[in-house]
Structure 1
């Protein structure tokens, strides 16, 4: 979907149409969750501090998020997807992979299917979507971002090699900011540069991700569209109105975060064995700590005790602007844990 949260707000409130809109908190401590394309022209992006966003775009209009409304529209869109194929793998609330090798409508091509899906979304929600079509997930994802907004881009098999060779490395799906910087440092700027590196070298430089980078440089991505993706974690975080300077005050906020996380775990019925603590300092430096136990973490008191132990391991080097905690590492069906005993 194109600028999904902001587009929903513009659709529901015609006064916002054509204006620079940011969904998120507009105060000194706020963060942009989503920005309309009118705002993006001024460099306003998601995760940008609201103060910075207002400096770039003084006439920016902030709107508080309405997550229940976004979920409602998302359900409409996902329902449309399922009219064409059962192989739908949601990536987020506003994005999904669709395998249309076989489709329920009997349409003759993937392009025809994408055009019809875009038309239906526009007709039923009033919103625009961008579609990417290609032979695998990696290329389809890149294609979906290529002609936004309201775009449709096809990377045909005969185009794959030349397209990847010319593609800037920062536009590669699965290559983040930190990895991009590391690749730039060793002379990898485009797909053709990545393709020159051996599997051994990429594995040495990037660990287990090296094989992925080696393959995508050659247009290889054998991952199937999985309609039954399993949730990997549940988390919560809060950016404070005022920086917190003492560990005592931070522990009080940790209790609030633990209560919120516990509610989310019960709602999602998620159970995991690893608890993680995230702290972001006022200078935006971020640190995380985690701990794994042998059993599933479900109780409020245990979450609080474990997160406090992680917090106690830290020496605060600056005032804290953000605190987050999460649970991950779900047990697999029929998994057996090796117990240990003291003799």
Structure 2
């Protein structure tokens, strides 16, 4: 009986932590240059079409946010300090953060350059309950790396992530299992990952704005708005979700994006650019031995309006042709609402290690032909270089130049989160 009770108690320890570095890029720049302390600092491109990659909290007090056009940020804060990105430096600091986490906690799942989930239940004997482990991690990051961080904790990774957002900036919030539903009830439904603007609009039509209101909906009604995600989101809302760390694929997503100095208005040109990006992402998937179960298209218009659309694939793939088909289809659905494209991005998501072998649907007919062709193209690119081979449909005399630091990086190779 005692063993059973211990096992039960252990599962109810809020031992899933989400650690998120606060304003990571901007905080590194402020740390490295003390003269920036207390000033409104943003990291990003200073050009006419630059965007904010990260903003310090003094800058956020003026309403400045990531992905905002730099021209807008300047209007909001005339005293703004713009620092060019140092991506390689940020990655090195990220590696230092993750290495520090591993010195305390064995089970760490990094999900981006500045955040990670941790299962700290096994660290109790050495370091105490989750609150103490979280406090220790934040203290060490502050003392050893000079950076602020926020931590949320729960019995569920989804709720831990919500808690860390509520704790920001530079805070700590652990939600006990029995308080999960009460903690979530007053929060807007949009704080749940997977409940995007479209889902929020559908729920609002039903009079649902908070998680507490969502919890009162019958599952059948919720499914009409959220589709197959409904059961999972219902469990999060009522506090019964117990999802911990996921499969340890370090590269959670992989993609590329480009910003052009001249807006794209020709549909054929948009298709061509999306095809090139899909091929680049797929080639990098194959090179890394990964397959994707989803793909995301990002589009931005000249006025800064940004839309993101995604699709889950029936079978995982590393084929550029399959990614292209889905990405172009997503764009076709949004084409009328965005006739001018300044930025486009293609991302492969829900990555898995390729265990060898493909689904039957990818081994027959047209798909099989593409797999053989892409394998041959990979060999040619490996031997003769990336510019040696391309689809005929993507060849033009010259591409308009890309602008911005992120665009240049993406043009060289797909980037990872």
Q: Superposed, which structure 2 residues align to 1:21-36 within 5 Å?
A: 21-36=41-56
Greater RCO, CA 8 A, separation 6+:
2
Q: What is the deviation of 1:276?
A: 6.6
Q: What is the deviation of 1:255?
A: 8.0
CA-to-aligned-CA distance 1:215-237 (integer Å, 9 cap, x gap): 11211222121361364542111
CA-to-aligned-CA distance 1:55-113 (integer Å, 9 cap, x gap): 22222222221111111111111111111222111121111111111117712211111
Aligned partner (choices 120, 136, 149) of residue 156 of structure 2: 136
- Whether the 8 Å contact between 2:45 and 2:84 is mirrored in structure 1 is yes
* Cα distance change on mapping 1:161 and 1:287 into 2, 3 Å: closer
Q: Which residue of 1 aligns with 2:90?
A: 70
Distance 1:93 1:156 in 2: 28
Aligned partner (choices 344, 347, 355) of residue 333 of structure 1: 355
Q: Which residue of 2 aligns with 1:37?
A: 57
Aligned partner (choices 257, 261, 284) of residue 237 of structure 1: 257
TM-score between the two structures when normalised by the length of structure 2: 0.70
The unaligned stretches of length 5 or more in structure 1 are none
Name whichever of 248-257 and 69-78 sits farther off: 248-257
Distance 1:127 1:292 in 2: 39
Distance 1:304 1:170 in 2: 31
Secondary structure in structure 1 of the residue aligned to 2:344? strand
- Whether the 8 Å contact between 2:282 and 2:323 is mirrored in structure 1 is no
Q: Could you say what the CA RMSD is over the residues aligned between the two structures, in angstroms? A: 3.6
Aligned partner (choices 228, 246, 252) of residue 266 of structure 2: 246
Aligned partner (choices 202, 207, 230) of residue 222 of structure 2: 202
Distance 2:97 2:142 in 1: 10
Q: What is the deviation of 1:310?
A: 4.0
Distance 1:208 1:142 in 2: 21
Aligned partner (choices 105, 108, 112) of residue 88 of structure 1: 108
Distance 2:99 2:156 in 1: 23
CA-to-aligned-CA distance 1:227-278 (integer Å, 9 cap, x gap): 6136454211112223233356657756875786477447644455887765
TM-score between the two structures when normalised by the length of structure 1: 0.83
Aligned partner (choices 20, 25, 28) of residue 5 of structure 1: 25
* Cα distance change on mapping 1:262 and 1:139 into 2, 3 Å: closer
Aligned partner (choices 291, 308, 321) of residue 342 of structure 2: 321
Distance 1:118 1:260 in 2: 38
- Whether the 8 Å contact between 2:291 and 2:354 is mirrored in structure 1 is no
